[in-house]
Amino acid sequence: MKKAIFIAIIATAFIAGFPSSRAAAAEQQDENGGILTAQIPENGSDIAWGQAVAVVDKPIEEVLPIVRDYANYVKFMPHFTKSKVLAQRGSRAMVYMEVSVAKGAFTLWGQLDLAEHPENGDSRVVEARLMQGNLDAFSATWTLTPVDGGARTRVDFKIYVDPDIPLPSSVFSHQNEKAAGTTLRALRTRLFEVPQGST
């Protein structure tokens, strides 16, 4: 009985986050300030990736250090309540993170392997994958590409979360898309809050 009540509370909190109409969805898109979001199918899963893409008015040399500043994710990433680097060597790190979801009704935690991987051309890619935690799956990818002669950076962020909660897959697909948009918006805000060279 207690488990059923708990699931009902989480379901209500998740569903409350849905836009109630097309107009509300459009307003939410406007709030993203030019950030384009989408859902990308994942092979073998009914849950889709969330994707957000935007061009920020900073060179890649200023964007990449913020993306790699894993210990400070808790200071600017939406819903993060903890981010602690357990071990780090170069651009690769083992990081423990906690994220509050469903309006605080549930906390997701995970030990993540984050690393920068080589990419063809001028792009830089930082990937996160779940090592252990209380969710079925978590993956995220930042792809940074210099544009306008290096004066600005195209940021492509993708996230896939399956939190192991018995709700329709469409709920989590929507949440992944929403999380991608809010994360990219948080990064853009952080870029203009942190003085160059302070990270």
What is the structure's pLDDT at 180? 93
What is the structure's pLDDT at 104? 64
Tokens read off for 104 = 């605080």
Mean pLDDT (the chain, rounded) = 82
Superfamily of domain 2-193: START domain (3.30.530.20)
- Determine the Cα–Cα distance for residues 22 and 41; give it in Å rounded to an integer: 22
Structural domain spans, the chain: 2-193
What mean pLDDT do residues 158-185 have?
A: 89
Least confident piece of the model among 12-21, 26-35, 96-105, 165-174? 12-21
What is the structure's pLDDT at 192? 86
What is the structure's pLDDT at 62? 95
**Which pTM was predicted?**
0.81
144-155 in b/e form (b: 16+ CB < 10 A) is: bbbeeeeebbbb
Answer whether residue 30 shows pLDDT above 70. Answer: no
Question: What's the pLDDT tens digit per position in 47-63?
Answer: 999 999 999 999 999 99
Question: What's the pLDDT tens digit per position in 110-151?
Answer: 999 999 987 778 899 999 999 999 989 999 999 999 999 999
